[in-house]
Structure 1
């Protein structure tokens, strides 16, 4: 038995998220079928993150056990011939049997794209969150500066999560602008359900003047989801990198 690690890029537009679901097309199922077509084995992929419907990935990490004799570094080439164009295996390698894509993870980096323009973009319609209202970028930057550190992020957690603690450490929260595209990158040791999307929605509310940038610490301390902003849509979110 061997353990193979995959680095995966995918466009989540046409998938109901990563995780296997009944009567729904998912990224996990699609890759597992490709592996079965290659090796004849029914495997179960373990991913670092269960991305939601419409969320994209530039560096999703997953691993699976196999009895195949295919060299670890050749799986990427072989699987890419079997996968649809919106899923690409960027790298593959054999790893130790105790490697676990989820439990070995020490942190993640996400990117969120906002298209701030009067009219939407045909090209970016499934790649970024279109906001037609002119945003106060400097206020958004100021608001973003309050997120790094170790905090209880209950105010930025969607319902339905069963985690034991809402305390997370954010190491980076950077907002940049290039013409009409606002890019937000955030790194940390872990993220709650919809946490990044709620943070982005809150930043957008700051940019619209609905929330004051200096109120972010109070919102964090309140532990009240109702104090934070909207949940930004899935299409602007990208899982960029997983740290081990």
Structure 2
């Protein structure tokens, strides 16, 4: 449960953070210090100058996965304007991480527990030659894909299911049962966009679903295979885990009453 036991002079701040995950070992802090959380907390601590700052995030991302609007919260005794948290923290961050916005939030707010759902997008290049200028920012498939079989297969995943077949062996989630609210597939030129929204996601869940969708879209597997994989409740039944390169955390969805942004300018750039 979210903690509200704060000293009277402390404030809870929420930040929206974007990052290119290619050069990092994921979100969560590691002894190497080479994670997005480590870099953000170091910058916040340097900016605050008075106290070490520790953050809690809406959803952890793996190595190589990007974030358009990760949301974190932390508690502080400092009284700074919201825009000062943005400009000041960014002055200590590397170029591939940037705070997009800052808001004072109620002490009951919790970046993870207050989220009603979470959103991801996977961007995939379909081309005979691998990516170059967008290397690390898109996934890649050289076989032609067919939209209709992938859309039909995606329908079998919607709703509440046991997603064990799409769960990594080291996943720490208490339950494999999640509710997938949306899986939209569209194409613009040579780029495919797969957009997911769910109550929460298991470790590697999207990348494992992507592997199955691509197998079906390329004709290697029939549409009905997706249902078979889901019902098998076995990781061995699914396709290999797909590349992290084109995966973007679009951010959590909160109650509108909180007044938090639901997108950043990077949403308009993403194919």
What is the TM-score of this pair, normalised by structure 2?
Answer: 0.87
Question: Can you list the C-alpha shifts for 1:47-77, whole angstroms capped at 9, x where unaligned?
Answer: 1111111100111000111111112343112
Task: Check conservation: 2:58, 2:251, Cα contact below 8 A.
Answer: no
Tell me the SS of whatever aligns to 2:184.
strand
Which residue number corresponds to residue 64 of structure 1?
Answer: 74
Q: From 39, 42, 48, give the equivalent of 1:39.
A: 48
Which residue number corresponds to residue 164 of structure 2?
Answer: 154
Task: Check conservation: 1:155, 1:228, Cα contact below 8 A.
Answer: yes
Which residue number corresponds to residue 227 of structure 1?
Answer: 237
Matched, 1:100 2:110: yes
Residue range with higher mean Cα deviation, 180-189 or 72-81: 72-81
Q: From 16, 39, 49, give the equivalent of 2:25.
A: 16
Distance between the aligned counterparts of 2:253 and 2:209, measured in 1? 21
Question: Can you list the C-alpha shifts for 1:25-51, whole angstroms capped at 9, x where unaligned?
Answer: 111111111111111121111111111
Aligned-pair RMSD on alpha carbons?
Answer: 1.3
The 5 A counterparts of 1:155-174 are 155-174=165-184
Task: Check conservation: 1:197, 1:233, Cα contact below 8 A.
Answer: yes
Tell me the SS of whatever aligns to 1:162.
coil
Deviation of 1:163 (Å)? 2.3
Distance between the aligned counterparts of 2:172 and 2:189, measured in 1? 40
Q: From 151, 171, 177, give the equivalent of 1:141.
A: 151
Deviation of 1:24 (Å)? 4.0
Question: Which segments of structure 1 move beyond 3 Å, counting only runs of 4 or more?
Answer: none
Residue range with higher mean Cα deviation, 141-150 or 86-95: 141-150
Deviation of 1:21 (Å)? 0.5
Task: Check conservation: 1:76, 1:90, Cα contact below 8 A.
Answer: yes
The 5 A counterparts of 1:155-194 are 155-194=165-204
Distance between the aligned counterparts of 1:73 and 1:42, measured in 2? 20
